[in-house]
Amino acid sequence: MNKKYVVIICFAMLVLGCSSKEDLNPLGRSLGDVHDSDPLKLGSVPKEPKNLKITTSENSTKVKVPLYPPSIKSNPSNIDFKPQPRLLGGQFSDVAVFESKGVKGDFVTIMNPAGSILVASNPNPGNWIWAYTLLNSKDFRNARAWQLIEFPNNNFMIKNSKTGTCLNAYNGGVVHYPCDESNQAQFWTLIPYNNKAVKIQNLATKTCMRVIIKNPLKDFDTIRQVFLTKCAPKGQDNLDQQWYITAPAFNAKPLYLKGEK
């Protein structure tokens, strides 16, 4: 093939790749510039953990968090319940994504087929979300429970029981951050599968929550990274992107304090 055409094709692929990249601030109006894609300086994805327990300390990995959430204007009457545009005049919109204020649901546990659950293991806002098993996450107590706040068209904000913060898409992973109803990166669409599991897709990025499952019958003590990746199309392997909404993992006591005599 002519070298000239090879160069043209490579340049076209580069342009297409760059045009699809999410380069907006995932925290919306809360912190940093509109085009600052990493205002928390966490990098693109959560790094693989070396220790079983990441942290339970209130004093670890603190980030700068605004004292007050950004002021939000009410969403005008919207009979078709569609979300408001993310940007307005090149800046993030200060209008709530939906007209509805949301319906608060019960607390739940969010678990994948390997038995790993979403945990806000570092209680300070602006830190990665990780997936632990029920057994190795027991010290995190209520940081394992989440409240689903329902909005139109099967969209949800997902709020942590312990921290009061919401799941927030952040580059190739998920962080928890003060809830902001004007930030589309904090809204998630639950798309059901036939087996009662759901796909959790971010409204802003259209990417799906994923935990890599290697051996679900063996890796019981594994801490897994939570990624955001391209959603698996219908008909392709999607086990890594399946999630079950189940009973909350609040503090539990044993059924029996002593064995039988």
Q: Which of 69-83, 84-98, 161-175 has the lowest mean pLDDT?
A: 69-83
| Residue type (1 letter), 47 | K
Report the pLDDT value the prediction gives residue 80, as an integer from 0 to 100: 60
The predicted pLDDT at position 217 comes to: 72
| 144 band by pLDDT with thresholds 50, 70 and 90 | very high
* CATH number for the domain running over 22-246: 2.80.10.50
Domain boundaries, the chain: 22-246
HEC assignment per residue over the chain: CCHHHHHHHHHHHHHHHHHCCCCCCCCCCCCCCCCCCCCCCCCCCCCCCCCCCCCCCCCCCCCCCCCCCCCCECCCCCCCCCCCCCEECCEECCECCCCCCCEEEEEEEEECCCCEEEECCCCCCCEECEEEECCCCHHHHHHHCEEEEEECCCEEEEEECCCCEEEEEECCEEEEEECCCCCHHHCEEEEECCCCCEEEEECCCCEEEECCCCCCCCCCCCCEECEEEECCCCCCCCHHHCEEEECCCCCCCCCCCCCCC
Instruction: Average the pLDDT over 91-96 and give the result.
Output: 90
Output 70 or 76, whichever has higher pLDDT. Answer: 70
What is the predicted pLDDT for the residue at 22? 63
Residue 258's pLDDT band (boundaries 50, 70, 90)? low
pLDDT level of residue 62 (50, 70, 90 thresholds) = low
Tokens standing for residue 210: 């994923």
Query: Strand pairing of 91-92 and 224-225?
Result: unpaired
Q: Is the pLDDT of residue 211 over 60?
A: yes
The residue with greater pLDDT, 101 or 258, is: 101
Give the model's confidence band at 135: pLDDT under 50 very low, under 70 low, under 90 confident, else very high. Answer: confident
